[in-house]
Amino acid sequence: MATILVTDRVARTCKFLCAVARGIPIVGQSYLDALKAVSNGSDVGAAVDPWQHILLDRESEKRYKFDLHQTLLKAQQAKLLSGYTVFVTSNVHPPATEIFLMLSCAGAIPLKNPSSSRAPKDAHKTFVISCPADAVSWEKYREKYPTIEIVSTEWLMCSLMQYSISFKNHRLL
Binned at pLDDT 50, 70 and 90, residue 41 comes out as low
Distance between first and last Cα of the chain: 36
Phi, psi of 8 (to 5 degrees): -100, -5
Predicted TM-score (pTM) of the model is 0.90
Dihedrals phi, psi of 128, to nearest 5 degrees? -120, 135
pLDDT for 145: 87
What would the pLDDT profile of 119-140 be if each residue is shown by its tens digit?
676 778 999 999 999 999 999 9
SS3 106: coil
